[in-house]
Amino acid sequence: MDLIIGHVIGHGSSGAVVSTATSISSGEILAVKSADLRRSQALRREEKILSTLNHPNIIGHRGCHVSIEGRRPVFRLVMEYAPGGTLADASSLDEPTIARHARAIVDGLDYLHSRGIVHCDIKGSNVLIKDGEAKIADFGCAKLADDVVAVIGGTPLYMSPEVVRGEEQSFAADVWALGCTVIEMATGGRPPWRPNDASTLAKIAFSGETPEVPEFLSGSARDFIGRCLRVDPRERWTAGKLAGHPFVAAFGFGFGQAKEVTGRTCSPTSVLDRGIWGSAEEGFSEDLSSEPVERIRELCVESFVKEDWECEEGWITVRDCENVRKIGGIKCGDEFREWSFEFCGNFSLQRETGENRGVR
């Protein structure tokens, strides 16, 4: 493929280098992900899925090729360029704009699910804007729904309870993430849960609670989000059913033009910026333990390192429990940090560091 590769603009979740590029033959500006051929398995898997898709609300596949760069073979995935930034780049959006973008994501998900594909990493920074239309991007974590050996993927704070627990990652998990993304649009690009630590992930997995829905949204918007955020995945509406919800029903593809995202803008590949919210909020695809507590440890081990464990502030009470049973711990440097859970209807967390220990 005849391309002039431009400057590097980021790095992908699989380690791919992301650049702009220009087609010599057509002059079209494109986005390119590149990875050493020997370490390009994840990028080639992403290309294989993206190459089968053709939908106005999904970022377009433009091809792939292997080129020689400094005597080493490099695999390149060439994609549509979307200059309007991502949903995560915006301040809080007005409700009609949220509805338009939500409908675009719903339509994209309905198309993906009809083809047996689970995206696994829906969030604002993975939705691009081009000509006012929202487009789902970054298929680095995507998998076929019937792929029983696929590894877990996604961004922890957007994972549904069953995914955090390691039970399943199905179409319903994408719908949960959609609900979180609508909240994100309404609140100005913030993740649906705070903070990004193990207590939050444990809360997602075991408490039965859902993200707080902004009260300033209309009843229709709150109901739409509620249909997405059912704790039981069997009770969540499908993408196809959500397309008929009153909140988004009037905003099918081609209805006017959604507002271009304002604020800081970036290339379409900025959805892969690993520094947007911190380690526990990044998308990834890894082999994780099937044990719930061990999975929580692995999902946010980097965020543990950032904690000030001697500080008396920042404790979060999930639920009180008199008898706490220790079932997990983390070794970080010279410190041993323990998390304890009681799964008898109540739920509590404990952390320990040297002589400082406590239960909240």
Residues with catalytic annotation?
121
331 known member of a binding site: no
Cα distance between residue 41 and residue 38, in whole Å: 8
State whether the Cα torsion 350-231-160-184 is positive or negative: negative
Cα distance between residue 54 and residue 62, in whole Å: 11
Q: Which three-class secondary structure string do you get for the chain? A: CCEEEEEEEEECCCCCEEEEEEECCCCCEEEEEEEEHHHCHHHHHHHHHHCCCCCCCECCEEEEEEEEECCEEEEEEEEECCCCCEHHHCCCCCHHHHHHHHHHHHHHHHHHHHCCEECCCCCHHHEEEECCEEEECCCCCCEECCCCCCCEEECHHHCCHHHHCCCCCCHHHHHHHHHHHHHHHHHCCCCCCCCCCHHHHHHHHHCCCCCCCCCCCCHHHHHHHHHHCCCCHHHCCCHHHHCCCCCCCCCCCCCCCCCCCCCCCCCHHHHHCCCCCCHHHCCEEECCCCCHHHHHHHHCHHHHHHCCCCCCCCCCCCCCCCCCEEEEEEEECCEEEEEEECCCCCCCCEEEECCEEEEC
For 175-195, b/e burial (b = at least 16 CB within 10 A) is: bbbbbbbbbbbbbebebbbee
